[in-house]
Chain A
Amino acid sequence: MDTGVTTTLTAFAAQHAVGLTRFAYVLTGDRQLAEDLVQDCLLALHRRFGEALPIEAPVAYARRVIANGQATRMRRRSSLETVVDAIPDVGVDGTDLSEQDAAWRMLATLPRRQRAVLVLRYYLDLSDDEIARMLDCRIGTVRSLAARAFAALRQHPLLAADVEENQS
C-alpha cells in the first residue's frame, strides 16, 4: 500500500506550527524551548522527507518528534544552553493562585516522562495505548507514570488543602 504525498512541509507548518508550539509549550513549560523544539521538528521533517510529506499522520509524527526531541534537548542542554541571571518570561503573581495556576506550577516539578504522560492524556486526550506507543513504553508504564505524577501533584500544599476542605 502506497501512502502517497498528503501535504507539503510549508503547508503543514503554516497550518500546525502554532498548535505544535502549544503542545511543546505544555510539554516543556518553556516557550523558547517549545519554539526551538518545533523548529527542530520541522528541520527533522525537512531532512527526512524534503518539502513533500509522504506520511499519513504528520501531526502525530511531529508530536512524537517533539516529545523525543525534548529528551535529546535535555541531554544536550549542558553544552548548548547558557545560564542567565534574569528570567526572560514574566511569571504570574503567586500570591493568589487559582487551581489552574497551581496545577501548572506543579507540573513543572514533575520528571519529564510523568509530565509527558499527563500532557498527552489531558491536553491531547490520547488513550493510554496511544501514549504508550508515542513514548515507546508499555501501557502499564504509562499508568504507573500517571499514578506517580498524580501522587506527586496531590502532595502539593495547595491541593492538599483542597483535599482536606473537601473531606471535612
Chain B
Amino acid sequence: MNDRQFEAVLRSALVQHAATVNSGPTWPLDDELLDRSTGRRHRAAWWPIAAAVAAVLAVLGLVLAVRHNASDRHRPATPVTVTRTACTIDPSPAWSAATNAATLKLGDTPSVILGGAPDGTVLLRYGFGKTSHTELIAPDGSRRTLDERPELAGGFTAKGAEIDRRWIVLPVWPNTPDSPTTPPLAEFDVIDRATLHRTEAIQLTANDKVNAWAMLDGQLYWVDGHGRVADHDLATRQTRNVVPSGALSLNSSLTGVAWSDAQGITHQVAGAPVDQVPGLPGRHPDLVTDGTAYAWVGNGDLVWYSAATRQTVLIHDFAPGIKVSVRAVGGPYVVVEDNALGPNLWIADTRTGALMDSDTGDPIVSAAGILAFSGLQTVIAHVDRLPELSC
C-alpha cells in the first residue's frame, strides 16, 4: 500500500465512522440549564451596572494615577510585595467583548501576525498567495502596506519577523509543499522601516540550518546548525561570527540577546541580561517582559513585577502539579501555557489572581501597552482597554 492508497484508506475510515453519527447534542438548552451553565442571566442583569461602576472606577483610578505620578515624579517608588491566591474563573463575557472589539475585521481572509516591535507596532499578513498583503499596524491603528509579497519569489514567510525602530527582518523559508518537515531557512529579507522597501536579502544555505534569530539595535543575530552565533550589522551589511561553536539557541527580550548552550546556560551577546529583572536579584530562564512589566514562574508561584511601581505580585497555588511556562506579559495580564496534556493557554490577572482559559489565540506581541494574539482571528488589544478579571 503506497502513501496515496493509505491516505485513501484513512479518508474512507474517517468518513465511514463519522457517518455513524446521526445526531448531535440538544440545543437550545432549557432556560434554567442554560442560565446555570453560563450564568448569563445573572451577568446580563448586572452587566450594565457593573460596566457603569467599572467606568467610574476606571476614571477615578486614572485621575488618581495621574495625580500620584505627578506628585511622586521625583521620588522613587517604594518596593512592595503582594501575595494572592490563584482562582480559576469561567470565561469572562467582558473579556470576550473587549477582545471582540479588538479583533481585526478581515472577513474570511486568513491572517497571521508575523511579529511585533518594542513600540507596540504589529506586522500582519493576511490573504493567501498572490492576494496576500503585509501591513504594519501602529498602536494608534494607522496602517502602512509593505510590498504585497516582500520576500523573494519561491519562498514564504511566517511568524518570527523581527522589528526594531529602523528595520524589519522577515525570515523566508523555501516553498517546498511536499516536504513533511520545515526546510532550513533560505534567507532573511531586510526591509527599511521608513521606506518599507527591501534593502537586503541575506542568503543562507541549507547547510547553515539556521534555527534561531533575534534582532537588537540594528544587529541581527542567528544560530546555525554548527553552533555558531552570527552577528549581522544591518546598516553596513557585514556579518561576523561572535561565537564559534557550542550555541544551541538564542534567547532574546526587548532589551537583550543571549545564546544558550547544551546545558541550558545562557551567555549574553548584547544588551541587558535576558533572564534578569533590572534591579532585582535572581535569574529566571522563562522571564518575559513587555518593557515595563516582567513575569516568570518561581518556586511554583507566578511572579509579576512592575518596573514602574516596583510592585511585586506573587500568585500562590498557581498550577499545582502542572508544568507551566510564561508566554507573555502585557500590563497586569500574564499569558501562561500549560503543557500538561496538550498545550493550553491561560490568562492571569495579577491584580486579582484570577485565571481564565484563553480562546483568544497565541500571544505574539506584548509591548508598549499592546497585547496581540494570532489565531483563527487576529486580536490587537490595548491592555488598558481590557477588563479586570475577578475571582
A-side interface residues toward B, CB under 8 Å?
A: 1-3, 9-10, 13-14, 17-23, 25-26, 31, 34-36, 38-39, 42-44, 46-48, 50, 54, 56-57, 60-61, 64-65, 68, 70-72, 74-75, 77, 99-101, 103-104, 107, 112-113, 118-119, 122-123, 128-130, 133-134, 136, 138-141, 143-144, 146-147, 150, 153-154, 159, 162-163, 166
Contacts and interface: CB of A to CB of B under 8 A. Distances in A.
A82 to B, nearest CB: 18
Contact of A26 (B18, B340, B375): B18
Nearest to B23: A18
A1 B107 contact: yes
Nearest to A161: B1
A133 B9 contact: no
Given A9-B28, A101-B13, A162-B1, A138 B158 contact: yes
B91 A3 contact: no
A71 to B, nearest CB: 4
Contact of A44 (B13, B20, B91, B322): B91
A166 B298 CA distance: 56
B13 A104 contact: yes
Nearest to B106: A1
B9 A71 contact: no
- Report which residue of A38, A134, A138, A147 has the largest number of chain B beta carbons within 10 angstroms of its beta carbon: A138
Interface in B7-41: 7, 9-29, 34, 37-38, 40
Contacts of B29: 43
B17 A21 contact: no
A133 B110 contact: yes
Given A1-B107, A31-B21, A68-B359, A17 B27 contact: yes
Given A25-B17, A123-B11, A138-B158, A1 B105 contact: yes
A150 B3 contact: yes
B77 interface: no
A20 to B, nearest CB: 7
A123 B18 contact: yes
A47 B14 contact: no
Contacts of A128: 177
Given A42-B27, A77-B341, A146-B180, 5 more contacts: A3-B105, A46-B38, A100-B16, A122-B11, A133-B112
Contacts of A133: 110, 112, 375-376
A149 to B, nearest CB: 10
A109 to B, nearest CB: 14
A13 B344 contact: no
Contacts of A138: 158-159, 182
Contacts of B20: 25
A72 B40 CA distance: 22
Nearest to B93: A47
A163 B158 CA distance: 37
A61 B375 CA distance: 10
A140 B175 CA distance: 11
Contact of B18 (A14, A23, A38, A71): A23
27 contacts: A1-B106, A13-B24, A18-B21, A21-B25, A22-B19, A25-B20, A25-B21, A26-B14, A34-B21, A38-B24, A47-B40, A71-B342, A71-B344, A100-B13, A103-B10, A104-B14, A107-B10, A112-B342, A119-B14, A122-B7, A122-B10, A133-B112, A133-B375, A136-B361, A138-B158, A147-B180, A159-B1
B27 A21 contact: no
A20 B318 CA distance: 34
Contacts of B19: 22
A70 B344 CA distance: 10
A103 B9 contact: yes
Contacts of B158: 138-139
Contacts of B9: 99-100, 103
Given A42-B25, A48-B91, A65-B359, A134 B376 contact: yes
Contacts of B7: 122
B343 interface: yes
A118 to B, nearest CB: 6
B10 A118 contact: yes
B108 interface: yes
A56 B108 contact: yes
Given A47-B93, A113-B342, A134-B376, A123 B14 contact: yes
A46 B40 contact: yes
A161 B219 CA distance: 55
A64 B376 contact: yes
- Report which residue of B10, B128, B375 has the largest number of chain A beta carbons within 10 angstroms of its beta carbon: B10
A47 B336 CA distance: 23
A166 B374 CA distance: 45
A148 B52 CA distance: 53
Contact of A75 (B13, B180, B344): B344
Interface in B240-280: none
B342 A74 contact: yes
- The 10 A-B pairs at the shortest CB distance, nearest first, are namely A140-B182, A17-B24, A71-B342, A147-B180, A13-B27, A22-B18, A100-B13, A103-B13, A39-B25, A21-B24
